């Protein structure tokens, strides 16, 4: 749906549509699952509680009590990426996590959040993060640039890791699926290969959502504790 305001393109795209669907599904799942919460949970409540406890353990194990304010963000990020990755495996759907502009935006937001938290908590002492305590002062010209480059590379690696894994998986399935037409009577061979690849992609979809979320938590831990 093309839409331009003041020369800025804010068209409603396939990616925007899928992200909207994912947000609605997450909100619907959590609202329905918790509306009539029971001591013995049903299926939807069990799914919601499992996801909640998984994210809660991730934050608690790495950040402790100091990380409680960040739990809503980490939980939302994990659920958003998890459902987005999984829904993209449905035939004729659209993978917004296979779009570098989406993953880069998420990664830059995480990077900005971590940096702001570090400055708010530590002020200019945050810069000590780039020179480990106890390191020889003579090594500063070598260590400091390496640490700065490593820090600035965080959003790049976050964005590319998710984008590349999702894009590669979907591309492989499309290519192997195309062999089914070319092989004629032996079409079942690429079909069987795609079934196995589909199962692998499902694991990758869950794993990549977890990796993005856990790295966010670890970056927050560095911002809070500066180590």
For the chain, which residues make up each domain, given as ranges? Answer: 4-225
- The whole-model pTM stands at 0.87
Per DSSP, the residues of the chain read ---EETTEE----HHHHHHHHHHHHHHHHHHHHHHT--SS--HHHHHHHHHHHHHHHHHHHHHGGGGGGGHHHHHHHHHHHHHHHHHTTSTT---GGG-HHHHHHHHHHHHHHHHHHHHHHHGGGGGGGGS-TT--GGGHHHHHHHHHHHHHTHHHHHHHHHHHHHHHHHHHHHHHHHHHHHTGGGTHHHHHHHHHHHHHHHHHHHHHHHHHHHHHHHHHHHHHH--
The string of pLDDT tens digits covering residues 5-52 is: 777 777 788 888 999 999 999 999 888 888 876 776 677 788 888 888
The string of pLDDT tens digits covering residues 127-180 is: 888 887 777 888 888 888 888 999 899 999 999 999 999 998 888 888 887 777
């Amino acid at each position: 749906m093309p839409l331009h305001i003041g020369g800025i393109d804010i068209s409603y795209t396939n990616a925007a549509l899928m992200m909207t669907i994912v947000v609605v599904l997450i909100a619907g799942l959590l609202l329905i699952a918790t509306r009539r919460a029971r001591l013995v949970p049903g299926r939807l409540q069990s799914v919601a509680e499992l996801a909640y406890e998984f994210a809660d353990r991730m934050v608690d194990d790495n950040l402790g009590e100091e990380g409680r304010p960040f739990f809503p963000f980490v939980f939302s990020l994990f659920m958003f990426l998890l459902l987005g990755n999984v829904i993209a495996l449905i035939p004729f759907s659209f993978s917004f996590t296979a779009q570098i502009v989406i993953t880069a935006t998420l990664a830059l937001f995480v990077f900005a959040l971590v940096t702001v938290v570090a400055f708010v908590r530590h002020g200019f002492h945050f810069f000590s993060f780039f020179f480990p305590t106890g390191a020889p002062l003579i090594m500063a010209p070598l260590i400091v640039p390496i640490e700065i480059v490593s820090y600035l590379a965080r959003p790049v690696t976050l964005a590319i890791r998710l984008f590349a894994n999702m894009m590669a998986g979907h591309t492989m399935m499309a290519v192997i699926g195309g062999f089914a037409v070319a092989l004629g009577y032996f079409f079942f061979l690429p079909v069987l290969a795609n079934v196995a690849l589909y199962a692998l992609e499902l694991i990758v979809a869950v794993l990549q959502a977890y990796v993005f979320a856990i790295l966010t938590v670890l970056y927050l831990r560095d911002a809070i504790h500066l180590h």
